[in-house]
């Protein structure tokens, strides 16, 4: 039995180390010293007296109840341990024994106490930014017992009901940060108050948040589409002997026809001019065959580029519409503010 008590005390001491840093009251320090010395009777006597008579901060009061609960737990005074844990939960619902450091029996006592009171714990609000009217601030929490949870928000020019419903275990509400008329909430500090009601038990938690507004960033117009690049609209074809072939064909057919149609009755004539022009034609064909071909348009690439430009223009017109809408919108940034004890 002594060994078990000593182990519980050591575990409890480990649990209390972080909290001890925050406490300032000399009376509470003495209670803790008694606990460290395993003077359980002294812990109980001093602890009850300090709670009853001293004006303690919330943290000191929570530490006193925690020391009492651990002491009662170590002494197997289950009912009193649960009672002390109940008070601890009411004062600081998020303060709970570390399952890795305390005996399972202590954890079970804490769980028993938690199930007997109605509290909202593990309230979590993350910093978010959203366009007014298109997003909301999520507020996540746990209720210790099935409860009706009413969420209200109050702040500059606003006092409104956010949500009302029943919750068991984990719950979530979302605040859109809009005024009743639909306008974005003005900049300032707002208090989101969650109130859990279960039977006659009522528990309230105040979550302060800061709301700031800013203009919504506009989108940049596109000059290219990712993954698509314009293709060359012209290409230089490879050298070809086609010009020489065509020139030879024209010259041969025309010369042949001229010679064939020539009327020999009026003389043989002369072929000087015919030969000169034929040679010039062949030379031109040869020159065009060996010269660097001119670039020629590539219709498929021209069509591709046209479609690409049309697509970019269409996207840009959509962006223009979106930007016009964005210029009318307001970006709301909601950040959790430090809670007052």
Partner 1 sequence: MRHRLLAVAAGVIAAHLPSHLVAQTVRFAALGAYGTYQEATTSREWRGAGYGGSAEVVGRKLRLEGAVTRFTMASVAGPLSGLSSMHVLTWDARAGLGLGSSFWLEAGGGRLTADPKLAAQDMGFVRVGLLSESRFSRNADVWARAAYLPVTRYSGGGSARMAVELGFGIHLGLGSGRFHVRAAYQFQRMDRTVRGRDVPIQTTSARLGIGAGF
273 binds partner 1 (CB under 8 A): yes
Which whole-number Å values give the CA distances from 39 to 9, 133, 168, 189, in the listed order?
A: 10, 60, 40, 47
**Residue 127 CA to chain centroid, in angstroms?**
10
Residue 309 CB, shortest distance to partner 1, in Å, is 25
The answer to whether 272 contacts partner 1 (rule: CB under 8 A) is: yes
Question: Residues 138, 158, 219, 250: which binds partner 1 (CB under 8 A)?
Answer: 250
Match 């209390």 to its residue by tokens.
16
- By CB under 8 A, residue 258 contacts partner 1: yes
Instruction: Give 232 or 245: the residue with its C-beta nearer to partner 1.
Output: 245
- Binding segment toward partner 1, per CB under 8 A, in 35-43, 139-147, 253-261, 311-319: 253-261
| Least distance from partner 1 to the Cβ atom of residue 320, Å | 35
Name the minimum Å distance from CB 271 to partner 1.
9
Which residue in the set 26, 276, 290, 303 belongs to the binding site for partner 1 (CB under 8 A)? Answer: 276
Q: How far is the CB of 329 from partner 1 (least distance, A)?
A: 49
Q: Minimum CB separation from partner 1 for residue 299, in Å?
A: 15
What span, in angstroms and rounded, lies between the C-alpha atoms of 270 and 277? 13
CB of 298 to partner 1, least distance (A): 16
- For residue 293, state whether it binds partner 1 (rule: CB under 8 A): yes
| 72/82 Cα distance (integer angstroms) | 9
| Between 229 and 268, CB nearer to partner 1 | 268
Is 290 one of the binding residues for partner 1 (CB under 8 A)?
no
Q: Which of 182, 270, 328, 341 binds partner 1 (CB under 8 A)?
A: 270
Q: Does 212 bind partner 1 (CB under 8 A)?
A: no
Which of the stretches 8-16, 94-102, 109-117, 249-257 binds partner 1 when contact is defined by CB under 8 A?
Answer: 249-257
- Our finding on whether 267 is near partner 1 (CB under 8 A) is yes
Residue 297 sits in the site that holds partner 1 (CB under 8 A): no
- Write down the least CB distance from residue 229 to partner 1, Å: 28
Closest CA to 8 of 77, 60, 58: 77
Find out whether 159 and 191 touch, Cβ atoms under 8 Å: no
Closer of 265 and 340 to partner 1 (Cβ): 265
Shorter beta-carbon distance to partner 1: residue 21 or 292: 292
- Binding residue for partner 1 (CB under 8 A) from 9, 247, 332, 334? 247
d(CA 164, CA 268): 118
Among 53-61, 63-71, 108-116, 244-252, the segment contacting partner 1 (CB under 8 A): 244-252
Binding residues for partner 1, rule CB under 8 A, total 33
285 binding partner 1? (CB under 8 A)? yes
Q: How far is the CB of 258 from partner 1 (least distance, A)?
A: 4
Measure the CA–CA gap between 162 and 130, rounded to whole angstroms. Answer: 18
Residues that bind partner 1 (CB under 8 A): 243, 246-247, 250-251, 253-255, 257-258, 261-263, 265-270, 272-274, 276-278, 280-281, 284-285, 287-288, 293-294
């Amino acid at each position: 039995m002594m060994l078990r008590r000593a182990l519980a005390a050591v575990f409890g001491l480990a649990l209390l180390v972080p909290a001890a840093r925050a406490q300032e009251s000399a009376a509470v320090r003495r209670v803790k010293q008694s606990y460290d010395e395993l003077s359980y009777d002294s812990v109980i006597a001093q602890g009850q007296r300090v709670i009853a008579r001293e004006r303690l901060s919330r943290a000191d009061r929570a530490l006193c109840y925690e020391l009492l609960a651990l002491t009662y737990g170590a002494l197997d005074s289950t009912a009193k341990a649960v009672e002390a844990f109940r008070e601890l939960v009411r004062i600081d619902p998020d303060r709970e024994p570390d399952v890795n450091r305390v005996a399972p029996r202590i954890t079970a006592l804490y769980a028993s106490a938690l199930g007997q009171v109605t509290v909202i714990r593990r309230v979590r609000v993350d910093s978010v930014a959203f366009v007014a009217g298109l997003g909301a601030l999520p507020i996540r929490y746990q209720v210790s017992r099935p409860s009706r949870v009413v969420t209200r928000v109050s702040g500059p020019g606003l006092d409104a009901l956010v949500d009302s419903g029943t919750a068991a275990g984990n719950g979530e509400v979302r605040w859109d940060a809009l005024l009743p008329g639909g306008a974005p909430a003005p900049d300032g500090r707002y208090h989101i108050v969650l109130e859990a009601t279960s039977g006659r038990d009522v528990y309230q938690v105040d979550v302060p948040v800061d709301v700031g507004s800013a203009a919504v960033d506009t989108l940049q117009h596109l000059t290219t589409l990712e993954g698509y690049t314009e293709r060359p609209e012209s290409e230089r074809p490879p050298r070809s002997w086609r010009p020489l072939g065509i020139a030879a064909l024209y010259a041969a057919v025309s010369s042949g026809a001229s010679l064939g149609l020539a009327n020999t009755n009026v003389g043989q004539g002369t072929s000087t001019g015919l030969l000169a022009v034929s040679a010039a034609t062949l030379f031109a064909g040869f020159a065009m065959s060996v010269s660097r071909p001119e670039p020629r348009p590539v219709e498929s690439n021209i069509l591709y580029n046209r479609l690409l430009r049309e697509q970019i223009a269409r996207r840009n017109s959509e962006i223009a519409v979106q930007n016009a809408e964005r210029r009318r919108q307001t970006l709301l940034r909601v950040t959790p503010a430090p809670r007052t004890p």
